[in-house]
Amino acid sequence: MKLLFEKSVPGRRSYYLSDLDVPMASLPENLCRKAPPGLPELAETDVTRHYSALESRTFGINDGFYPLGSCTMKYNPKINDSVAGLPGFAGLHPLQPIEGVQGLLEALDMADRCLSQITGMDKMTFQPAAGAHGEFTGLMLFKAYHESRGDAARKTVVVPDSAHGTNPATASMCGMKVVNLPSTADGRVDLVKLQEVVGPDTAGIMLTNPNTLGLFEQEILEITEIVHKAGGLCYYDGANLNAIAGVMRPGDMGFDCVHLNLHKTFSTPHGGGGPGCGAVGCKSFLQKYLPGPQVQKDGGRFTFDQSDESVGNILGFYGNILIVLRALAYIMAYGKDGLPLIAKHALLNANYLKHRLAERFEITNKGLCMHEFIITMEKEAKASGVTAMDMAKAIIDNGMMTPTMYFPLIVKECLMVEPTETEGKETLDEVADTYIRIYDALMADPQAAKAFPVNTVVGRPDEVAAARNPILRYTSVDS
Ligand SMILES: *Cc1c(COP(=O)(O)O)cnc(C)c1O
């Protein structure tokens, strides 16, 4: 496929400007270009067809089943996009006088109160632009808290080995030392080991619950108590809130701070690096350290305030607020009674698909799983050379997105499946039938397994070479 630049035809335009009806302004010579910018010159049809062709080569939730574990790639109701697109919101400018944005501030205040109630926290910030950015914010709060008490020696963060990779990365970014906590044989936090690693140097723990093995940490109250007794704080990675929203609250589990991926659970489409919101909630004793301006209600009027002890700004202005509006519309549409159904249906779907796939696959979750489960193909890889990668590549050929591959790192040859609540039983059955059919075909002919995918634009790129020896300069192609 050619680039727009290669399709460019000199003089071709897709706009019509009316004749100048005001005097021509003259710009200072030093501000004027010497030559026109090298932009593609195209008709509207060229541009439209180009982007439609690109779109047809990608795969998204609107195309089919997208079970990417730990990502909650669920269907997002389109009406929430309409709410975020209302001109009274979408047309605002961040520097507009406060009198002109009272409606938005009221909506942000409502979203704060709804999400605080859902998480069991006291106050939220919407400034963080991603989950990882929220984690960073949370640890900054922990740091500010310990330093304010003259307890600056607390420099280690305990992270279970089942954690999302962003957790240890965040702790390092904040200048903390990561203490890796190995899981028990059943995949949960080992209380004895936790007790051994916490001490006067512990800044806190970062925990995902349900963890990335799709398991609920049943001893969660003991875990947060051990950390608190040692003087540390507890951070809840709430990116997986889809599994518990409206049913359980991190605040009730003993956590001091949590981030939510509004772009996973709360109705903003994600992937591809688009804008996100890693909203962070905290208990009241951390509130004064929150970043960015906070919405305050002063009589009947909303204003902004930022505490002197705030950790500062971690993004410009108030964050990606249109994402917050989608979340608010979503929460209000489902309400207090509807929200728990989302979590329960997510668990029901995961357990149904897990049950169906257990006909062929080895699944690491014994008993019930939460919103996701893990298939391991370690035995198949050893016996016949058919790997999780082969399975995933064959799935792509059948018009479905793969599950998350080779994550979490502690399970060999794994595929992590998160069907989400927005899939119907017919889809889940079709998925189970397809996976089983593919499995049988790969096992019958392990040699052929290496050929997939055959129906895609790109087959099997050499991923190691692509990472070690990246070609970052475009060279023309004619396909
Ligand atoms: C997705 C995810 C994150 C990171 O969120 P980003 O928005 O991608 O930065 C962190 N933790 C868990 C458990 C996740 O699933």
pLDDT 10s digits, 449-459: 999 999 988 88
Ligand 1 pocket, 277 CB below 6 A?
A: no
Rounded-to-integer distance, Cα 184 and Cα 335, Å? 38
Whether the per-residue pLDDT at 196 is higher than 50: the answer is yes
pLDDT band at 369 (very low <50, low <70, confident <90, very high): very high
Q: Which residues of 130-166 are buried (b: 16+ CB within 10 A; e: fewer)?
A: bbbbbbbbbbbbbbbbbeeeeeeebebbbbbbbbbeb
Tell me if 291 CB under 6 Å of ligand 1.
no
164 pocket-lining for ligand 1 (C-beta < 6 Å): yes
Closest listed residue to residue 411, CA positions, set 373, 457, 439, 454: 373
* Spatial contact of 296 and 153, defined as CB atoms under 8 Å apart: no
CA atoms within 13 A on the CB side of 193: 14
Q: Is the CB of 421 under 6 A from ligand 1?
A: no
**Which residue's CA is the closest to the ligand 1 atom numbered 5?**
131
Instruction: Please state whether the predicted TM-score (pTM) of the whole model is above 0.85.
Output: yes
DSSP 203: E
Helix (H, G, I), strand (E, B), or coil: what is residue 147? helix
Residue among 74, 164, 277, 404 to mutate when testing ligand 1 (max atoms within 8 A of CB): 164
CATH entry, 78-334, from 3.40.640.10, 3.40.50.720, 3.90.1310.10, 3.40.50.2000 = 3.40.640.10
Looking at per-residue pLDDT, the higher value among 128 and 399 belongs to 128
- Counting ligand 1 atoms within 8 A of each CB, the residue from 162, 166, 265 with the most, and so the one to mutate, is 166
Q: What is the pLDDT of residue 477?
A: 64
Q: For ligand 1, atom 12, which residue shows the shortest CA distance? A: 239
Specify whether the CB–CB gap between 207 and 236 falls below 8 A. yes
For residues 84 and 477, which has the higher predicted lDDT (pLDDT)? 84
Q: What is the CA radius of gyration of the chain?
A: 25
357 lines ligand 1 (CB under 6 A): no
Decide if pLDDT at 214 tops 90: no
Q: Which residue has the higher pLDDT, 366 or 370?
A: 370
Beta carbons of 325 and 263 less than 8 angstroms apart: no
Kindly indicate whether the domain formed by 340-465 is annotated with CATH number 3.90.1150.10: yes
Distance between CA atoms of residues 304 and 405, nearest Å: 44
Q: How far is CA 426 from the centre of its chain?
A: 27
Average pLDDT of the residues in 159-176 = 93
Name the amino acid, one letter, at 463. Answer: E
For residue 214, the 8-state DSSP code is: S
Residue 212 pLDDT: 84
SS3 call for 148: helix
Q: What is the pLDDT of residue 474?
A: 84
Across the chain, mean pLDDT equals 94
Structure confidence at residue 479 (pLDDT): 47
CA of 72, closest atom in ligand 1: 15
Q: Count Cα atoms within 13 angstroms, Cβ side, for 341.
A: 8
What average pLDDT does this structure show over 354-380? Answer: 95
Ligand 1 contact via 278 beta carbon (within 6 Å): yes
Q: Do domains 78-334 and 340-465 have the same CATH topology?
A: no
Confidence band for 312, pLDDT divided at 50, 70 and 90: very high
pLDDT for residue 85 is more than 70: yes
Query: What is the pLDDT averaged over residues 331-358?
Result: 97
Q: Which atom of ligand 1 is nearest to the CA of 166?
A: 10
From CA 189, how far away is CA 160, in angstroms rounded?
A: 7
Residue 16 pLDDT: 86
* Nearest atom in ligand 1 to 133's CA: 9
Q: CA triplet 287, 289, 295: central angle to 5 degrees? A: 60
Residue 478's pLDDT band, with cuts at 50, 70 and 90, is low
Asked whether 320 lines ligand 1 (CB < 6 A), one says no
**166 CA → ligand 1 middle, Å:** 7
Interval between CA 264 and ligand 1 midpoint (Å): 9
Which residue ranges make up each domain of the chain?
78-334, 340-465
The mean per-residue pLDDT over the stretch 151-176 comes to 93
Give the percent of the chain with pLDDT over 90: 85
Q: Specify the DSSP element, H or E, that contains 356.
A: helix 321-357
Task: Name which residue leads in pLDDT, 479 or 402.
Answer: 402
Contact in structure between 420 and 74 (CB atoms under 8 Å): yes
**pLDDT higher than 80, residue 124:** yes
Rounded to the nearest whole angstrom, what is the distance from the C-alpha of residue 372 to the centroid of ligand 1?
Answer: 15
| Ligand 1 pocket residue status of 224, Cβ below 6 Å | no
Mean pLDDT value across residues 233-259: 97
